[in-house]
Structure 1
């Protein structure tokens, strides 16, 4: 009888140990899944980041002068500053930017899209007989706080921009993915 009692006690201890190990593993797994859900919820709660601007303040920008687009059509996330012409990324991620520039007849321009001072996309534009417009852009990974702007990239430019009812100079960007 004593041997059976000892055997039952050992069995009970083994079962108790197995139960505790299972409970610990399940608790750990549940905590990991809870953390994953919190991270996913955070991603879903992030607001969209997008801007679209037009109307250039200075139609004859000099080299190294940021082209300032003063009218915002949309500025979700408040990243674009209409007083400086600079987009500051509110969050890091993969962004798509687009620039559309129009010129007066007989003018030419070399315009760049810059990320923290480095040209990430550029365009040249010229037509001797007609007003001309061109569009260029880039998809680029931007860190939170980094800045993006548009400016002439060379002094070898007779850049008189054109904007009227039929032509708009624009600068836009959208966060594609976090």
Structure 2
């Protein structure tokens, strides 16, 4: 019997707190779309509605001379990907992507792992740059251990 994959996808922008502290979830409050309602734009957390392979990406634009580090975190235990942004001479944007297996009801978010200053992120500017967090179910897994 063929079971089709549910459609789960979101893309959100606008970081709420531009001065995050270590351990803080980065909340992207403005969803462009949230098909399947798995992303909580108030908390900044994605909750997997089904077990499957998911693709996540984040795009960060920071002010010059700002140093900040981040991780994609699954349920406070596993840091899937880690990254660092720093640019001495001007504004900089960078992206991170991770493909992960999430079990039903596992949660994933972007977390600040270090920052040395206040007001790290640029405000969204639809013409030139935008901080974003997005994710999508690539394939549902049945009978996954």
Structure 1 gaps, min length 5? 1-36
Partner of 2:69: 110
What does the per-residue CA deviation read over 1:126-150, in whole Å, with 9 as the maximum and x for residues that have no partner? 1111001110111010000000001
- What TM-score do the two structures reach when normalised by structure 1? 0.73
How does 1:1-178 map onto structure 2 within 5 Å?
37=1, 40=2, 43-44=3-4, 46-117=5-76, 118-154=78-114, 156-158=115-117, 160-165=120-125, 166-178=128-140
**Regions of 4+ moved over 6 Å:** none
Question: Quick check: 1:113–1:137 contact (8 Å CA) kept in 2?
Answer: no
Equivalents in 1 of 2:52, 2:85: separation in Å? 30
Larger-Rg structure? 1
C-alpha contact (below 8 Å) 2:124/2:131 kept by paired residues: no
More helix by share: 1
**Which structure: greater strand fraction?**
2
Offset at 1:111? 1.0
Aligned-pair Cα RMSD in Å: 1.2
Which sections of structure 2, spanning at least 5 residues, go unmatched? 141-145
Corresponding position of 1:33: none
